[in-house]
Amino acid sequence: MTARCLAMVLTLIALGMAAVPPAAADENDLVQAYKKEFAFLESEKASLAQRLAEHDAQAQAKLDEARADVGKEQNRVRALSARADKLAEQLQDFDRQIESVLDAADSLDATVSQAATTLASHGETPADATGEGGARVRWIYDAGLSVLRRVNSVRTEDGEFFRVDGSKGRGTIVRVGQIAAVAAGDGAAGTLAPAGDKRFKIWPDGDEGAARALATGGRPDVLPLFLFDSLDKSAEQAAEQTVLEHVASGGVIAWIIVAIGLAALIMIVLRANFLQRSGMNTEQLVSRVNPLMDAGKKDEALSLCHASKGATARVLQATLRNIDRDRDHLEDIISESIMHETPFLDRFGTTIMVCAAVAPLLGLLGTVTGMISTFEVITEFGTGDPKMLSGGISEALVTTELGLMVAIPALLCGNLLAGWAEKIKAGMESAALGVTNRSARRGGAKGNADVLPDRLTNSRCT
């Protein structure tokens, strides 16, 4: 609209300028024409502005209306979305309830099937086990209660069983619930134990008299029973294992440990005998030699030592034979005499301690080899049969046991014998020192007569 008005104004101006010659145009007419045109344009402008304002108002109204409609639709969509979420949650709840019901139905079917099998083994006919859920549960309860009343009582029945020698017999069987039974008949009676496949056998350790008394209606004071939880597997009497069989279950290493233990035992006995002979009558000998030395009777003291036995007596003999020598020489003789006795006193001591240290290490080696054997069996055959695993486990445990049984006594005895040997050496030194000092006090020895120097007391081989 505005473009068209401007085109008209320009056309009129062009026509006016063409119609009036420049020389003859009146200035006032031109001004008036311009004013008219300006007024016309102002009017058109106002009209256009008004129409534009009306158009904007209408557009704004439509926009507001559209926005209101959009808001309503959004609220509606949100409400519908919330409702859809709620319905989805309800649907999930329904699915879970359906799954729970199906699981319960499957569990009920499995329970009924298992109960039917178990109750059928006790003579109950599962006629009602195929009905509806309530009927099936009712049958399980009634049949189970009936079986419990029957089996949890002491009842008498005729049946077969195996005698101790393995032959089959028949007689009266008294069953104590489902946990024990006794039998009497066919020349055999006693406590019954499971023989496998729902059968019984007479247990060798049963009381025949008590079983016969119970089978005939009596009430024995003591009734030995073999308690069991099932008749499906046969009960086996544990065989008593001898010492040799116990050791043999540990394998070759177990025999090596036993050999080391026997060697250690022999050496302990021999060393104890050596020490007993070396230290015998030491205190008595010293108590008799000292008074003789105080009285100056060296020859009698020497004869007494010669007649006595033991390491102390031999050291005193060497001391008395050389009592008149100078102090340094006498010290050397005493030290040499004690050193001469030391190997005899220390005999087998180191070997015993080595046996005490090696035995547990061999036990550990047997444990490792036994576990390796066990894992090899597991790798090849699995863990289904425990008897297949018992060999490696037995070897692992038996060798450890034997190693400790050898090591502990050998270590204890070795230390005790070592202490005994040290006591004998100390007694020899003390006896030689006493004789030397007593002789010195009587002028029989040269040099310091108080104590022996450190090189004598430190000359022991420990």
Cα separation, 331 vs 319, in Å, equals 9
Euclidean distance between CA atoms 433 and 408, whole angstroms: 38
Closest to 309 (Cα-Cα) out of 276, 287, 335: 276
Work out the pLDDT band at 263, boundaries 50, 70, 90: very high
| Dihedral sign (CA 188, 189, 192, 197) | positive
Greatest mean pLDDT range, 335-339, 392-396, 408-412 = 408-412
pLDDT, position 462: 31
Q: Which amino acid is at 30?
A: L
Nearest CA to 129 among 119, 139, 120, 121?
A: 139
Who has greater pLDDT, 226 or 10? 226
pLDDT computed for residue 20 by the predictor? 47
Going from N- to C-terminal start, the domains of the chain cover 155-235, 252-457
Rounded Cα distance between 419 and 155, Å, is 71
pTM score > 0.75 for this model? no
Label residue 133 by pLDDT band (50, 70, 90).
low
Q: What is the pLDDT of residues 19-67, one digit of tens each?
A: 445 444 467 888 888 888 888 888 888 888 888 888 888 989 888 888 8
Residue 327's pLDDT band, with cuts at 50, 70 and 90, is: low
Query: In the Cβ-directed half-sphere of 310, how many Cα atoms lie within 13 Å?
Result: 24
> What is the percentage of the chain residues whose pLDDT exceeds 90?
10
Asked if 358 and 350 touch (Cβ cutoff 8 Å), the reply is no
Residue 446 has pLDDT above 50, yes or no: no
Q: Please state which of the ranges 159-168, 227-236, 345-354 shows the lowest mean pLDDT.
A: 227-236
Q: What is Dmax (Cα atoms) for the chain?
A: 191
Confidence of residue 109 (pLDDT cuts 50, 70, 90): confident
Is pLDDT above 60 for 12? no
Tens digit of pLDDT for each residue in 187-205? Answer: 777 777 888 777 888 777 7
